[in-house]
Structures are given as structure tokens and as C-alpha cells.
């Protein structure tokens, strides 16, 4: 049985690939991946982020953009979904949260190139349209 109860379901989500920039040896991951480091930094910064309760960070095992790591995505109910790659660990986490705040403020989720923080200007992998709303 399915219900349409959305209590507890986030309207926005920041997905972070925790497998990105992994080092593999003999078919096993060695050490902490770049994606896990980015996730940890995002989670640490998000403790003081005004949207921490409205825009949860969700780890993802793989987002299938391995040659463009590290990868994150913004999604929101009724909004465009954006996927970004080529994120480095130096200043990306603060830029990701800044961009997520801009995304949150936009009714349709539109993130014009000129308004994105520098680390998210060149690394766009996809802008996915919203699902149609059935009335």
C-alpha cells in the first residue's frame, strides 16, 4: 500500500558521492576517498548553515561520474536538478553550500552561470528538467 504522506520527506536534498576519487588496490578501496573527505567537510560546515534542517546532505555510494570527481547534486521538489563535478577539496565545500543556498531561494531552482560560486561554474555535468506535475 502506498500513501501520499510526505511528513519527514525533504523538499531539497544535496547528494554527495562518497566514492569519488577513491584509490583502489586489488579490487578494494584503500584509505578515505576524496568524496568522503568532501562529504565530511560539508557535514562539518553544515552544522552552522542556516538551511541545515531544510536541505539535508545525503551520501550516495556512486553517481557514475567517476572521471569528473568529486561529484555533488542539488535536487528540490518541483525544481531543476543540477549535477556538478570536478570539485576539489580546497574550497569546494563552502562554495557548494553557498550555491545550495542560492538554489533553495529560486522557485524553479535556476542557477545562472554568473551567480554560481567559482568552483561550480566549470564543473556542471547536468541540468535535469523537473518532473511534470499532474493536476
pLDDT value at position 45?
95
Q: What is the pLDDT of residues 80-92, one digit of tens each?
A: 999 999 999 888 9
pLDDT value at position 132?
75
**Structural contact between residues 69 and 35, judged by C-beta atoms closer than 8 angstroms:** yes
pLDDT value at position 105?
95
CA-nearest of 65, 67, 69 to 126 is 65
Residues of the chain with pLDDT under 70: 1-10, 133-135
Q: Assign 102 to helix, strand or coil.
A: helix
Q: What is the largest CA-CA distance in the chain?
A: 53
pLDDT value at position 2?
36
- CA 61 to mean position of chain CA atoms: 13
Amino acid at each position: 500500500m502506498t500513501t501520499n504522506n510526505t511528513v519527514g520527506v525533504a523538499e531539497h536534498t544535496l547528494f554527495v558521492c562518497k566514492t569519488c576519487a577513491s584509490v583502489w588496490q586489488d579490487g578494494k578501496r584503500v584509505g578515505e576517498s576524496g568524496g568522503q573527505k568532501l562529504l565530511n567537510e560539508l557535514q562539518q560546515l553544515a552544522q552552522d548553515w542556516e538551511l541545515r534542517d531544510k536541505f539535508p546532505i545525503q551520501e550516495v555510494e556512486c553517481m557514475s561520474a567517476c572521471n569528473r570527481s568529486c561529484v555533488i547534486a542539488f535536487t528540490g521538489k518541483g525544481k531543476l536538478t543540477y549535477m556538478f563535478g570536478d570539485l576539489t577539496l580546497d574550497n569546494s565545500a563552502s562554495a557548494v553550500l553557498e550555491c545550495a543556498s542560492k538554489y533553495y531561494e529560486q522557485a524553479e531552482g535556476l542557477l545562472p552561470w554568473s551567480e554560481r560560486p567559482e568552483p561550480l561554474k566549470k564543473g556542471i555535468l547536468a541540468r535535469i528538467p523537473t518532473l511534470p506535475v499532474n493536476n
